[in-house]
Structure 1
Amino acid sequence: MKPLDRNISVLEHIVTYCEQIEQTVERFGNSAETFRADPIYRNAAALCILQIGELVGKLTDEFRAQHPSIPWRQIKAMRNIVAHSYGTVDPEITWEIITDDIPDLKQYCTRIITSE
């Protein structure tokens, strides 16, 4: 698979996880209080964040360098925090990610996919 094709495939998977986060918010409710109180809600979102971070690691270095407006390193770091925190992921930070960052990431990835 050519690097461009691989990167596009990875972006498509990232978009899928962004959509799953959106669906999770729709299912459980767009409420920070509900998110903080419901471990199932938090775990569902955290798993998608973990998967997105894992996928970011599969993008080529060249691709990440060509798209510096996305904080690829921070996305990967959040994956590591979720994967290795053993239940101590800050719900406030996670809520901020799913409500602020995920929609932007989805929009950005979709724009790249459709422009290639």
Structure 2
Amino acid sequence: MKPLDRNISVLEHIVSYCQQIEQTVERFGNSAETFQNDPIYRNAAALCILQIGELVGKLTDEFRAQHPAVPWRQIKAMRNIVAHSYGTVDPETTWEIITDDIPALKKYCETIIASQQ
């Protein structure tokens, strides 16, 4: 698989996890209080964040360098925090990620995918 094809495939998977986060918010409710008080809700979102961070690590270095608008390193770092010390992840920070950062990441990835077709 060519690097560009691999990167696009990774982006498509990232978009899929962003959509799963959106569906999770729809299912449980768009409420920071509900999110804070429901460990199932938090865990569902955290797993998708973890998967997104894992996928970011599969993008080529060239691709990440060509798209500096996305904080790839921070996304990967959040994956490591979720994977290794979820109990210390602040629910408010996670809520901001799923309500602010994830929609922006999804849109950015969709734009890149569309530009390659």
TM-score category by the smaller chain? over 0.9
TM-score by length of 2: 0.98
Paired with 1:55 and 1:109, the residues of 2 have a C-alpha distance of: 12
Match of 2:11 in 1: 11
Paired with 1:87 and 1:19, the residues of 2 have a C-alpha distance of: 24
Q: Tell me how far 1:60 sits from its aligned partner.
A: 0.1
* Stretches (4+) displaced over 6 A: none
Question: Structure 1 regions of 5+ residues with no counterpart?
Answer: none
Paired with 1:27 and 1:41, the residues of 2 have a C-alpha distance of: 9
Match of 1:56 in 2: 56
Secondary structure at 2:87 match in 1: coil
Is it true that 1:87 corresponds to 2:87 in the alignment?
Answer: yes
Paired with 1:53 and 1:68, the residues of 2 have a C-alpha distance of: 16
Aligned length: 116
Match of 1:73 in 2: 73
One-letter amino acid matched to 1:55: L
Match of 1:107 in 2: 107
One-letter amino acid matched to 2:43: N
Please give the per-residue CA displacement for 1:53-78, whole angstroms capped at 9, x wherever unaligned. 00000000000000000000000000
How much identity, in percent, do the aligned residues show? 89
One-letter amino acid matched to 1:105: L
Question: Structure 2 regions of 5+ residues with no counterpart?
Answer: none
TM-score by length of 1: 0.99
One-letter amino acid matched to 1:98: I
